[in-house]
Copies of this chain bind each other. A is one copy, B any other.
Amino acid sequence: MTELGQRAKAAAHLMATASTAVKNEALRLGAEALEAKADAILAANACDVDAARGQGISETLIDRLSLDEKRLVAMATGLRTVAALPDPVGEVVAGDVRPNGLRVQQVRAPIGVVAIIYESRPNVTSDAAGLCVKSGNVAFLRGSSMALESNMAIAAALREAFAKAGLPEDALVLVEDISHEAAAEFMQLEGYIDCLIPRGGKGLIQSVLEHATVPYIIDGDGNCHIYVDSTADLEMAEAIVVNAKTQRPSVCNAAESLVVHADIADEFLPRVVAALDGVELVGDRASQEIAPSIGAATPEDFSKEFLDLKMSVCVPDCLSDAIAHINKHGTGHSEAIITSDYAAAERFTQEVDAAVVFVNASTRFSDGEELGYGAEIGISTQKLHARGPMGLSHLTCIRTIVRGDGQVRG
């Protein structure tokens, strides 16, 4: 593992000064390679899928693991899209001249070696490599054991393409040792990994929190709330709740909890319960009294990320109680208020402690592409370095360059 780390680190020095033109060419050649080597990649993927089926893996996971022509084209298109995005490296984010004449500039630079641990989907191999390469970083990847053949085939195609463009082929280093011991070693490669981003479920996140000694960014749970204020446009509120809960319930920016101001609960709850047909609702006593089809919520239900057609409901008496409820049970991911009251909107956006706060819009927009970043490497639920959806600029750090003409400190 250390040898892989050394290779990644050595490549990082070259990547940091690679020109935008070369990096873009590498991504375009990478896209071509995925298409040209489709047969080999799909054959490797078929091996992974067969082996997984043999182990009795669930069909949901098999679907995540499976590649076909269409998914491969989507991966190639992803690389071309990233090639077309602006390069964050070198951006001067601030600067001035000090009284002693020193010219100070804060400049974006790559982080270095970005490590990503991820679960079954093999497309992450190509997506993550694309974002890392574009931002001048080395992608040091450790996928799941289940997808090893697929990941090796994708990595081989991309490494060859990167080298052809003039980048080090170690711009992408794939860990092929898929043992548990190797995963632990990977998280502890101090001095070789500059940033670790785990992409996966609770088990993986917990393992990183416990074992990682390298710096990491946590992409954690989203227990997202929709708060329907007393002044909400109820038609808008209904559409947003239905969208946030049901459009794609398995993702982290889907809503998990509905919070309805008591003043409009009598009118809104029966209506939204009908609109949420097929969604299991569990709520507090106040919500159950108004809409008897709502089941009784356990205290834990309010803190749960269901990732399913299930939603908790509560009926606070005022905006303050709603905000307190959200700050208590939320995971700091994405929260929304539906209101027509200016002061309520302002209070909610200022007092709710979350990465992304929405007024009159669905939490489903908490996504790098939807927010205009062009692509997304994950959604941070921590506060340091990056908060919320992370695009290319979040894969950089800020260095300071100081130019003088002989200044010494007095």
- Give chain A's interface residues, CB within 8 Å of chain B: 13, 16-17, 96, 98, 102, 104, 111-112, 194-195, 209, 213, 215, 217, 233, 236, 239-240, 242-244, 247, 327, 345, 349-351, 353-362, 364-365, 370-372, 382-389, 397-409
Contacts and interface: CB of A to CB of B under 8 A. Distances in A.
A362 B408 contact: yes
B384 A388 contact: no
B399 A16 contact: no
Contacts of A102: 361, 365, 370
Contact of A402 (B236, B247, B365): B365
Given A357-B401, A364-B409, 17 more contacts: A16-B351, A17-B351, A98-B371, A195-B383, A236-B405, A345-B403, A355-B399, A357-B400, A358-B402, A358-B404, A359-B403, A359-B404, A360-B403, A362-B407, A365-B404, A384-B385, A388-B399
| Assembly stoichiometry (copies) | 2
Given A384-B195, A406-B233, A400 B361 contact: no
Contact of A408 (B13, B243, B357, B389): B243
A190 to B, nearest CB: 8
A365 B101 CA distance: 12
Contacts of A240: 406, 408
Interface of A is mostly: mixed
Most buried by B among A362, A371, A386, A408: A408
A379 to B, nearest CB: 11
A355 B401 CA distance: 8
Contacts of A195: 383-384
A17 B402 contact: no
A230 to B, nearest CB: 17
B409 A362 contact: yes
A310 B370 CA distance: 55
A16 B332 CA distance: 15
A213 B112 CA distance: 24
Contacts of A350: 16-17
B13 A112 contact: no
A384 B215 contact: yes
Given A111-B383, A240-B408, A401 B349 contact: yes
B372 A402 contact: no
Contacts of A98: 370-372
B406 A239 contact: yes
B351 A399 contact: no
